[in-house]
Structure 1
Amino acid sequence: MRDMTRPVHRLRAAAGEQFVQDEMAELVSQAIGPRVAHDALRLFGMNPATGAVSYGFLHSFPPALLHAQLVDSYTGDDPFSPAEIGRLPFDTGLLGGDDPSLPGHRQAARTLAAYGAGSELRLLLREGRHRPWGLLALLRTAGGRPFAQEDARCLAQLSEPLIALLKGYAAARATAIGPGARFLPPGVVLVGPDDQVRSVSPQARAWLAEIAPERGLAPPWMPAASMREIVLAARRHAMIPGAPPALACSPAAFLGRRVAVHAQCMDASGKGEVAVVLQEASGALLLPTYAAWHGLTARESEVVERLCSRETPRQIARVMQVSVHTLNTHVRNVYRKTGTSGRDDLVAALNC
């Protein structure tokens, strides 16, 4: 097997760095390229609490192919979509390789071919079996050597440093805006049955201007892809019992502030109009995602919720039915994991 020591070290050294637009994808591509050759790359970060894609980066990856693959993923024509690969006993998937018998494989291969690609190698980045942090996909153009299992085994060795890279990025506080940034009320975008935008409220226009790629943080392909994915997720939630709700919280480093985007179908069939809401991701709305990004336990998440409600330590201990000593241990763990210095700092971190 190829020695992956150098790319592992390079990725570990990059954890905690600041990235704008697609810089993270470029760095990962440069680190991996000498060991696993590829022509394009995409790296998506997920909410480990829900599995929803929250941010992403492309390097030479055609945005039009990404849009087509999103449709395949949500219509069940992609055997290695994040939802499907998460159920597999292994973390890698090959598309365009030697096994066209897999359900959906032919459609996925046709989608690749339609955009000049020959094969794709995907790696689900997860801790254990149920904490998905993201998805890495490498692309090779048509006519070249397809990816093989040896490539998959090499790529799998990079899972831990890639998760650390995504963790550091997701947990970083906003740097592009200060505490005096203007508050924006929720805004609504209405999407029609043809998945085209029908109307945009004034509040939503303010949000779209606030997070526009022209501000220098988000990748230029992001707005259209994010809208497409959240609408597809809403339709899937309406049509498939048990499908997760369409809710994504983007980290501050991605858009300059934490943004919650959620969508809901306006009819039970899931084929009609979809309302997409953009709003501040803070407080109770952010807490489940914030806890997942920082690896908080359920007990520690409850402590955060009660600390933010301004209850006294004795009140919190009594409600949680633990001793004050045990509560203080939970509190110290929360401060350590979130990198906060005290209650006020924690509350500010959840509401900045």
Structure 2
Amino acid sequence: MALTFFDAGRLARDLYAAARHDAGTGGRGAGISRVLAPLLPHDGLSLVATDPATGLGLGSFSFWHEYAPSLVTDLVMHRYRGGDPCRPAALAGLATPATVVGPPGEGPADPRVREILTANGAGSELRLLLRDRHGVWGSLGLLRCAGACPFDRDDLQRAARIGPALVTALRRYVTEGPLFPVAPALPAGVVTVGPDHTISAVSPQAREWLDRLSSPSGHAFPEWIPDAFLVALSLAARSRAHDADAWVPVVCVPPVVCGRWMTFQGQPLDADADGDVALVLQGAAGDLVMPSFCAWYGITPRERATLRELRTGAAVKQIARRLDLSPYTVNDHLKALFRKTGADGRDELIAALTR
């Protein structure tokens, strides 16, 4: 039975409240699961947020409930090594970007995914790409246990209906977090992932970054997520080395996660990408942050051009002259920037991008 009526605005508010609730590791994912369960029954939830500026790669942050680490690891390995036909890029080409994997006869044939789900006690998985006219904001994965009724076409319709509320909640989660850094900067750190896809070395600086990611005072990922994420990033870097059209292995993480903007970047250390991969973890500012910052806050191209000039210290008349605009239009753009970001003035807005 398809959804006939629900309050999308209320659903978005309830999802946001669940995401913000400080319930300890895994608590937020469980809260989001409880909100969605009456609309789309499930036994496990994965909600991964991305931003249009970084494309269909790994998420900037995520929420999890009842997804076994072994299941996530196996699915990630299959995605990058086995050519999972239901990966995000494939869903992006569908009119309704959702599919069901696992049960025979549903979705593209993928026996390996069925094997992975069965080995981890799951019967089917529903996957939904979260997108709007601005781009892709993440993905939702829902599990049903082995023996339960598999997801069907009605479930896909329900998922598509709740997608916009999930996008709204994720964007609010980021934009109502800290605007500018509230945690001290750390030196860049390096993680090395070996050819056997295990982490072989972590620099002290990288360990500090990872500890901050797992801090209960921050976003509070489940303790196994950072390692799984790093291995996935290394796999993406290896894929990129063999396919120039593949996703560029850079992830930009907003301050709501660990108190300041940061990036993860992956680079194979040999030409064939068969050896070690170096992952660099560092604080980010300026041009590196600008695309993701503008995406999350809904900043238009004209407003972005004004913001870029503002970072140089230019006055309103100078910005107007450089952009061939009237001072009144520049002031309108500045008002929109302050409204969208919540900045009290130009100093706070500049600090959000430069500290």
Say whether the fold is shared (TM-score over 0.5): yes
Residue number in structure 2 paired with 1:121: 126
The correspondence of residues 67-106 of structure 1 with structure 2, limited to 5 A, is 67-99=73-105, 102=108, 105-106=110-111
Q: 1:211 aligns with which of 192, 210, 213?
A: 213
The correspondence of residues 323-338 of structure 1 with structure 2, limited to 5 A, is 323-338=326-341
Distance verdict in 2 for CA 1:101–1:120, change over 3 Å: closer
Residue number in structure 2 paired with 1:26: 30
Shift of 1:57: 0.9
SS in 2 for 1:138: strand
Residue number in structure 2 paired with 1:260: 263
The answer to whether the aligner puts 1:340 opposite 2:343 as a matched pair is yes
Distance verdict in 2 for CA 1:76–1:85, change over 3 Å: farther
The answer to whether the aligner puts 1:293 opposite 2:299 as a matched pair is no
Task: Find the aligned partners of 1:121 and 1:194 in 2 and give their Cα distance.
Answer: 30
Tell me if the contact between 2:237 and 2:267 (Cα under 8 Å) persists in the aligned partners: yes
SS in 1 for 2:103: coil
Once superposed, what is the RMSD of the aligned Cα atoms? Answer: 2.4
Task: Find the aligned partners of 1:7 and 1:32 in 2 and give their Cα distance.
Answer: 12
SS in 2 for 1:80: coil
Shift of 1:101: 7.5
Q: 1:199 aligns with which of 194, 201, 211?
A: 201
SS in 2 for 1:90: coil
Letter in 2 for 1:61: Y
SS in 2 for 1:5: coil
Tell me if the contact between 2:97 and 2:128 (Cα under 8 Å) persists in the aligned partners: yes
SS in 2 for 1:89: coil
Shift of 1:7: 7.5
Residue number in structure 1 paired with 2:71: 65
Shift of 1:139: 0.3
Tell me if the contact between 2:181 and 2:259 (Cα under 8 Å) persists in the aligned partners: no
Task: Find the aligned partners of 1:173 and 1:282 in 2 and give their Cα distance.
Answer: 17
Letter in 2 for 1:217: H
Shift of 1:178: 7.2
Tell me if the contact between 2:193 and 2:231 (Cα under 8 Å) persists in the aligned partners: no
The correspondence of residues 262-277 of structure 1 with structure 2, limited to 5 A, is 262-277=265-280
Shift of 1:123: 1.3
Shift of 1:293: 0.6
Tell me if the contact between 1:7 and 1:32 (Cα under 8 Å) persists in the aligned partners: no
Residue number in structure 1 paired with 2:6: 5
Deviation larger for 62-71 or 309-318 = 309-318
Task: Find the aligned partners of 2:218 and 2:314 in 1 and give their Cα distance.
Answer: 40
Shift of 1:276: 0.6
Residue number in structure 2 paired with 1:250: 253
Tell me if the contact between 1:97 and 1:148 (Cα under 8 Å) persists in the aligned partners: no
Residue number in structure 1 paired with 2:143: 139
Letter in 1 for 2:313: R
Q: TM-score, normalised by structure 1?
A: 0.90
SS in 1 for 2:3: coil
Letter in 1 for 2:162: L
Shift of 1:302: 2.1
Q: How many residues align?
A: 348
Task: Find the aligned partners of 2:332 and 2:237 in 1 and give their Cα distance.
Answer: 40
Residue number in structure 2 paired with 1:110: 115
Task: Find the aligned partners of 2:175 and 2:250 in 1 and give their Cα distance.
Answer: 18
Distance verdict in 2 for CA 1:283–1:226, change over 3 Å: same
C-alpha distance after superposition, 1:103-125 (max 9, x if no partner): 5x222222211211110111111
The answer to whether the aligner puts 1:36 opposite 2:40 as a matched pair is yes
- State the identity %: 36
Deviation larger for 18-27 or 329-338 = 18-27
C-alpha distance after superposition, 1:234-266 (max 9, x if no partner): 111111121121111222222233321111112
C-alpha distance after superposition, 1:138-163 (max 9, x if no partner): 10111221110001111211111111
SS in 1 for 2:219: coil
SS in 2 for 1:145: coil
The correspondence of residues 222-261 of structure 1 with structure 2, limited to 5 A, is 222-261=225-264
SS in 2 for 1:157: helix
Letter in 2 for 1:118: G
Letter in 2 for 1:243: A
Tell me if the contact between 2:198 and 2:231 (Cα under 8 Å) persists in the aligned partners: no
Residue number in structure 2 paired with 1:172: 176
Tell me if the contact between 1:77 and 1:108 (Cα under 8 Å) persists in the aligned partners: no
SS in 2 for 1:279: strand
Letter in 2 for 1:58: W
Task: Find the aligned partners of 1:11 and 1:23 in 2 and give their Cα distance.
Answer: 18
Letter in 1 for 2:10: H
Tell me if the contact between 1:187 and 1:205 (Cα under 8 Å) persists in the aligned partners: yes
Task: Find the aligned partners of 1:92 and 1:114 in 2 and give their Cα distance.
Answer: 23
Letter in 2 for 1:127: D
Tell me if the contact between 1:11 and 1:28 (Cα under 8 Å) persists in the aligned partners: no
